[in-house]
Structure 1
Amino acid sequence: VAFGDMPNDIPMFQWAAHGVAMAGAHPELKAVADEVTLSNEDDGVAVVLERLFTP
């Protein structure tokens, strides 16, 4: 799982099995992301991690 917000994160998303863009991410990154989560202020990373790793 990789999280990002800017176009420089695109290679990381291409490498990762699952790329998650933040709500305020650049449109270029959102276009290649597997999903878009909430903003940092709304705990977007935690929301995804809880969903993926909580049984």
Structure 2
Amino acid sequence: AEHYGIALSETLAIGDSPNDLDMLKAAGLGVAMGNAAAEVKALAGAIVSTNEEDGVAEALDRYILRK
């Protein structure tokens, strides 16, 4: 984000595992996959479908393309 001059508050991060927690905390909106670990879901600002149900596409459509 810094390289492109984008504030972290204007970013979206998508994760499903505990190793994604720092990334989700740093992003303006942290999105958890539907099959994410419980601690990831608890931290996330939004939860979308699982990775097998096109959750990433759902997040991009909902929070980026329709913005």
Q: State the TM-score, normalized to the length of structure 2.
A: 0.75
* Partner-residue secondary structure (3-state), 2:53: coil
Gaps of at least 5 residues in structure 1 are: none
TM superposition outliers: structure 1 runs of 4+ over 4 Å? none
Distance in 2 between residues matched to 1:22 and 1:51, nearest whole Å: 13
Distance apart, 1:54 and its partner CA: 3.0
Distance apart, 1:46 and its partner CA: 0.5
| Residue 37 of structure 1 pairs with residue 42 of structure 2 | no
Identity %: 45
* Partner-residue secondary structure (3-state), 2:14: strand
Indicate the structure whose relative CO is greater, using CA pairs within 8 Å and at least 6 residues apart. 1
Equivalent residues, number: 55
Supply the AA of the counterpart residue of 1:36.
Answer: I
Distance in 2 between residues matched to 1:8 and 1:54, nearest whole Å: 29
Cross-structure match for 1:28: 39
Q: State the TM-score, normalized to the length of structure 1.
A: 0.89
Cross-structure match for 1:49: 60
